[in-house]
Structure 1
């Protein structure tokens, strides 16, 4: 299905089922930037928060997130928050960066005194192959994405000097029918056309491409040269895909797509010439207006993380947005259209609310939308105290299924609205953190039901939040510590457990360590087989001596911590066959 995108940050895909309601009156007092010369100079102060995950939907620790002039890092849950940041009103940009991934970028229309929220899923830089710069050639991915470079058409991106060596091509095709398109695509599908007016795009597919040399230095298409880019087209879109379609590249500085060139339809997709590489998009432009609304439950509690889906009934193209801590969401929708607005929560297949809205050329504000208790809504209230049993300001992490949600307790009190979908009760996991002293609670399990739920007090105490990987190689110590360094734990019920530590030196190089051990009855006191250990602190190929073990000293529930120690001996393959005695310890939060 082709998609336009409801611009404000938080998005999810759900199925459609009507829930009867009276249509609310709507106002149009907002400034409309659509179909006007682009204005990006006006600034407002904005609050923004969100979660960053990898391609496996696991939290990304220590991703660099840039908003305006402020850069923050994600924590062990992949969560970030920036307050009172000055951003362009009509196109505020959030960029998440992590080595090995294309940047994850979201754009939103910022409103004074309104917070925004995003979920960003990073795309790994898949190896599409290598091309001789002198001879030119083609690199491709199995899904049909293809990059063709002519001979002598590449320069060093930093200084513009000609490059004649081997070109390494990293790429990723973004499927326009993907259920997680809202998380993986850059921007919000707003664009600047060739007449310098703002448009909303209907996408038929995107691609991310990066060229580099063997040392990782970025390359770019030389001035005056063109490369050929071929994008696959999903079978479900071939019937409506036009014979030719405008091409757009993503301007990462302003967070908007820009029109440049045309792609022609082929037997398998679209093909066009491009003058540089970044993100490219095959799209049809349409006029848009802004729409906003606020979702609350019958108790008046804002429903945060509600998924608002807006469908253009004329062609079934759709967009989604996720409500912020005030239950508010806003974004771009097609002008001159009849829309179906639906509210979903927690992946429920049934809409909690739906209404029809006729949109002209003015912006639309639907005001408050109230979700009735008759659709299995729960009002959840709880308290948090510290080690002295005093009420505190704390962060409360709620896990429903495999998804994390972040709330704040003010003076010890927090509340949230939750939909139970069509089940009589729902199990949730709750963890509270006292960020001021680095203490947290254990993970608490609760069963909630429709109506009012008063949860037992949670004491954010007893579990330190420290995380580290410490190792020694022939007596020389090395240490990685969160949040300054990136630490990652991966299990997912596989036969082995992976622990990674990573640190950028700031000079283009990195320090790292990777420990792989067996997953055989993981528990405190268990001894796991040592499978592999690699680190840049050992610079030559080695073989490992038989034996070696990883001893588990702490093994909490998901959301808590796993700790252990390890020992191993390795021998260098080349003379003088250096012996490496390796010992270490680790403590990392579990996410699976």
Structure 2
């Protein structure tokens, strides 16, 4: 049976995944006995005010459930050695989509509220989210239900901008040649529309919709020079919620110093796009053919440093990861790592790039957790303190989650044995 591992709970420009190798709890032991048959996923879906989101669609490897009145969900799927694509979405909110490497119990996911505007679908409309600058031109009579019918009544149109830390997926993509590549975003958006009867809408076959997509403020608001001069391959991509991959699209992108303008064209009903995905998530991305990866390992950290007050769920460590975009902007994304995780696989990184990692302990943690904290990079010295700078290293064997020499996703034993192609290795340890 493969070792347990799980995706870290925050998205970033590169992919992150955690590996679990500690002793399971009694509930986990019960699952382990049937792990050859199924993997179990449960949790709650909330909004930014910690209120439950009802009837959010939660899908794992093609099996879907809807959240109840408390935002809770639970489902099981056939065990998969290559992992599980978990997708959570509801019209009017930004989606969550993550690659998980094992069951995930009692998770909490927060969906970001969209900018919404009520429109009449029988006339031309301009929808603009002023904070992000995203603009969408919707022509009259171009929206349809999944069955091809005209919308019922008025339509609520939604815009959710994405920066590098809120993207669905892990920036693994498939280009027009069928090659698996990694991406770096210079702007992304999720669009959706729902009519008065709650139908998710799509574009009519052959109809078009123009979108202006500014470079996010988190990336400096300026288009990288390599995009403008054509020295880096930059095209449009649409997210596939079922596979967790970004797929290259023919969307006629035009690049300026601050934004991308592109055109969405409707496909025939019964095509390859999931109707429940609606108008979709779109991304202006720089293609990366030879990304690198790093392993971040947690070594013998006492449980009191993860959970000083013995609460459930445990608060865990906060790990912050920083890097520099192609446009020169430095940005940081933070997430929680709990005691069940023994390592993080940090992948789809730009090769030989400077990175920085910072670790913080939860409130109430014993003083020794921070005072005895040591971070070390291989190659490189051990550094007392909570921050370390390191290099992403040479390109790995390919984009996506790191694999062992047999072509399987790496597990804890592979990390322990060094049985992978990640060039850099960071150790985090402390002691009483």
What range is the shorter-chain TM-score in?
A: 0.5 to 0.7
Matches within 5 A, 1:457-472: none
Specify the SS of the correspondent of 2:260: strand
Q: CA deviation at 1:76?
A: 10
The match for 1:185 is 167
Partner SS, residue 15 of structure 2: coil
* SS of the residue 1:215 aligns to: coil
1:226, distance to aligned residue in structure 2 (A)? 1.4
SS at match of 2:176: coil
Residues 166 and 59 of structure 1: CA distance in aligned 2, closer, same or farther (over 3 Å): closer
- Who is 2:380 aligned against? none
Q: Point out where structure 1 has 5 or more consecutive residues left out of the alignment.
A: 11-42, 374-450, 452-592
- Structure number with the higher strand fraction is 1
The alignment partner of 1:7 has SS state of: strand
Mapped contact 2:319–2:360 kept (Cα < 8 A): yes
Would the aligned equivalents of 1:311 and 1:319 in 2 still touch at CA under 8 Å? no
Structure richer in helix, relative to its length: 2
Q: Are the structure 2 counterparts of residues 270 and 312 from structure 1 closer, same or farther at C-alpha, using a change threshold of 3 Å?
A: closer
Q: Is contact 1:51-1:59 (8 Å) kept?
A: no
Structure 2 Cα separation of the partners of residues 164 and 48 of structure 1: 35
> How far apart in 2 are the matches of 1:51 and 1:238?
37
**Partners of 2:349 and 2:392 within 8 A in 1:** no
- How many Å separate the matches in 1 of 2:195 and 2:292? 43
2:124 aligned with 1:66: no
**Shift in CA distance, 161/313, structure 1 to aligned 2, threshold 3 Å:** closer
Q: Following superposition of structure 1 onto structure 2, how do residues 138-217 of structure 1 map, counting pairs within 5 Å?
A: 138-143=126-131, 144-157=133-146, 159-162=147-150, 166-176=154-164, 181=165, 184-217=166-199
Query: 2:179 & 2:154 partners in 1: Cα distance?
Result: 40
Larger mean CA deviation between 136-145 and 342-351 belongs to 342-351
Matching of residues 175-574 of structure 1 within 5 Å: 175-176=163-164, 181=165, 184-234=166-216, 236-238=220-222, 240=224, 242-243=227-228, 245-260=234-249, 261-266=251-256, 269-276=259-266, 277-287=279-289, 288-299=291-302, 304-307=316-319, 309=321, 311=323, 322-323=336-337, 325-334=340-349, 336-340=351-355, 342-346=357-361, 351-362=386-397, 363-364=421-422, 369-373=427-431, 451=432
**CA distance, structure 1, for counterparts of residue 69 and residue 427 of structure 2:** 34
Length-normalised TM-score, structure 1: 0.46
**Structure-2 change in CA distance of 1:72 and 1:292 (3 Å):** farther
For 1:77 and 1:342, how far apart are their aligned partners in 2? Answer: 36
CA RMSD of aligned residues (A): 4.2
Distance 2:65 2:143 in 1: 34
C-alpha offsets along residues 415-468 of structure 1, whole Å, 9 cap, x if unaligned? xxxxxxxxxxxxxxxxxxxxxxxxxxxxxxxxxxxx3xxxxxxxxxxxxxxxxx
Aligned residue pairs total 327
Determine the C-alpha separation between the residues in 2 that align with 1:257 and 1:152: 28
CA distance in 2, matches of 1:265, 1:318: 26
C-alpha deviation, 1:215, in angstroms:
2.0
What is the aligned partner in structure 2 of residue 106 from structure 1? 98
